[in-house]
Amino acid sequence: MNETLEVIKRRRSIRKYKPEQIPDADLQAIMEAAIWAPSAINQQRWHFTVIQNKDLLNEITELAREVMKSGPEFFAKRAQDPNFSPFFHAPTVIVISGDAGARFIQLDCALAAQNILIAAESLGIGSCIMTSPEFFFSTEKGQALLKRLGVPEGYKHICTVTLGYMEGERPEPKPRRENTVTYLR
Ligand SMILES: Cc1cc2nc3c(=O)[nH]c(=O)nc-3n(C[C@H](O)[C@H](O)[C@H](O)COP(=O)(O)O)c2cc1C
């Protein structure tokens, strides 16, 4: 297997991070990978907000806690944990937003996100793609916060990616469903 294929298979969703920040040169390389993703009709109508500011991350955590406490049981339980972090205490969080009026924007942003995950793994940095932040970003307070995060007018949250060095053991790979490929030769 070549290195690219190995990196793709080795990547796991990481949900425990060390507090240590990732090097800026690595972050730049990761974001470069993001913007080199393909996009429908080359529209590139995505936006990436890279958050490393601890006060801002704490502020988002408090909003998440408030919203999730009155959400479904699984969310409510998580939010009650005094050590709760919607981003698993990752030191870098990337909010990916896309032009709400652009066709295939979910696909475009997903491809950019996958580039981020793979580039991060290739540099020894753990990551997790998440859509659950939609739960609190979609509230009135969440929308106001997205504005402050520099999300352009008319853009919506698509997904969020956490980045940082993995704490503890790499999670075991989850078994992949079988028979999901049809070959016609
Ligand atoms: C569209 C999408 C949304 C996801 N949302 C979340 C999420 O909100 N929270 C989370 O912890 N993981 C989330 N994940 C990660 C998946 O749970 C994970 O990819 C899956 O369990 C397979 O594990 P692996 O990434 O380690 O191979 C999401 C993944 C995708 C593709």
Separation between Cα atoms, residue 152 and residue 158, nearest integer Å: 13
Among residues 172, 147, 146, the alpha carbon closest in space to that of 160 is found at: 146
Return the residue whose CA atom lies nearest to atom 19 of ligand 1.
13
Per-residue pLDDT tens digits for 90-113: 999 999 999 999 999 999 999 999
130 lines ligand 1 (CB under 6 A): yes
For residue range 10-43, what is the model confidence (pLDDT) as tens digits? 999 999 999 999 999 999 999 999 999 999 999 9
What is the tens place of the pLDDT at every residue in 110-136?
A: 999 999 999 999 999 999 999 999 999
Q: How far is the CA of 160 from the centre of ligand 1 (A)?
A: 11
pTM for this one?
Answer: 0.97
Superfamily of domain 3-164: NADH Oxidase (3.40.109.10)
According to the model, what pLDDT value does residue 113 have? 99
Residue nearest to atom 4 of ligand 1 (CA): 130
Per domain, the residue ranges of the chain are: 3-164
